[in-house]
């Protein structure tokens, strides 16, 4: 159902920490004009844990409105609270989202039977769901057998794999009909080489055209050209995680004048040394002109 380059959108804030919806409009237009396949607001990169329910709805509805059907919108609607996730997923469906990105419940760390019941309850809303497996942030992983069971549900159609394991992707592609997406930019090509359909990308916030080209080239089966694209992008991919995501990507976006360099605590400004390293990578990649 889903394939290609999806951007994990950042959430712009004003200096007073309120939402900057006008900047968000510009980010969405920039992505679509650059050829991105789809938009994912209110994920990890969008600082969703710091957004109120009202703010999440404001961001998601704004992205849907600006996209205006030109590309699909997969709204981040998951949390550690099943009831709240159901309510937000149902709201997103009514608002016109094309899918929901639903993270494994964090902090309360359910076991596998709890995960199954949680995701099946969300799927009953009727919105196509992309499961989000990121055990490094949530403390719990979706077991392969759990993914196999969940894949039988008609509204569970995809999974974002951010566990850093290509073997998992091979097994998921072999044993399920889920559309598998890389959750790590640097593993997009390796994962697509064994059957993944694309990426939910952090780096696309900076270079949407290049990430889109990488995914489309891999989908076309031209892995020689895809390797060349990957090699040029790899330093950028790595630089997005020299500090906690989304600190580097939002710092880079601010350097390009795309948004204000504002984070909500506990995220904060980068250290001087890593900021300099990030800017050097951007200059070498042709993203930023040397001053």
132, 149, 197, 250: the catalytic one is: 132
The rounded Cα 189 to chain-centroid distance in angstroms is: 16
Reported residue count of the chain is 291
| 250 is an active site residue | no
Please, are residues 64 and 56 in contact by the beta-carbon 8 Å criterion?
Answer: no
| 197 is an active site residue | no
Strand partners, 19: 13
State the SS3 of the chain: CCCEEEEECCCCECCCCCECHHHHHHHHHHHHHHCCCEEECCCCCCCHHHCCHHHHHHHHHHHHHHHCCCCCEEEECCCCCHHHHHHHHHHHHHHCCCEEEEECCCCCCCCHHHHHHHHHHHHCCCCCEEEEECHHHHCCCCCHHHHHHHCCCCCEEEEEECCCCHHHHHHHHHHCCCEEEECCHHHHHHHHHCCCCEEEECHHHCCHHHHHHHHHHHHCCCHHHHHHHHHHHHHHHHHCCCCCCCHHHHHHHHHCCCCCCCCCCCCCCCCHHHHHHHHHHHHHCCCCCCC
Largest CA distance in the chain: 55
Please, are residues 103 and 86 in contact by the beta-carbon 8 Å criterion?
Answer: no
How far, CA to CA in Å, does 215 sit from each of 194, 222, 248?
A: 13, 10, 22
138's tokens: 């949530």
93, 149, 160, 197: the catalytic one is: 160
Residues labelled catalytic? 132, 160
């Amino acid at each position: 159902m889903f394939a290609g380059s999806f951007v994990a959108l950042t959430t712009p804030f004003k200096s007073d920490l309120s939402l900057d919806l006008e900047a968000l409009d510009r980010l969405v237009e920039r992505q679509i004009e650059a050829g991105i396949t789809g938009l994912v607001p209110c994920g990890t990169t969008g600082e969703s844990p710091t957004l109120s329910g009202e703010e999440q709805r404001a961001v998601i509805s704004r992205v849907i409105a600006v996209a205006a059907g030109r590309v699909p919108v997969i709204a981040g609607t998951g949390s550690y609270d099943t009831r709240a996730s159901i309510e937000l997923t149902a709201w997103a469906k009514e608002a016109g989202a094309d899918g929901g990105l639903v993270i494994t419940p964090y902090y309360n760390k359910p076991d596998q039977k709890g995960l199954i019941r949680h995701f099946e309850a969300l799927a009953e809303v009727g919105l196509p769901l992309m499961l989000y497996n990121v055990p490094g942030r949530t403390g719990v992983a979706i077991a392969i057998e759990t993914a196999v069971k969940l894949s039988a549900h008609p509204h569970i159609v995809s999974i974002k794999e951010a566990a850093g394991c290509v073997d998992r992707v091979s097994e998921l592609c072999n044993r399920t009909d889920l559309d598998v997406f890389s959750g790590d930019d640097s593993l997009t090509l390796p994962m697509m080489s064994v059957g993944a359909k694309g990426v939910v990308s952090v780096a696309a916030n900076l270079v949407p055209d290049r990430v889109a080209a990488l995914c489309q080239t891999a989908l076309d089966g031209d892995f020689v050209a895809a390797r060349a694209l990957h090699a040029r992008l790899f330093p950028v991919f790595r630089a997005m995680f020299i500090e906690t995501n989304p600190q580097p990507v939002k710092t880079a976006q601010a350097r390009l004048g795309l948004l204000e360099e504002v984070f909500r605590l506990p995220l904060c400004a980068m250290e001087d040394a890593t900021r300099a390293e990030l800017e050097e990578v951007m200059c070498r990649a042709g993203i930023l002109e040397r001053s």
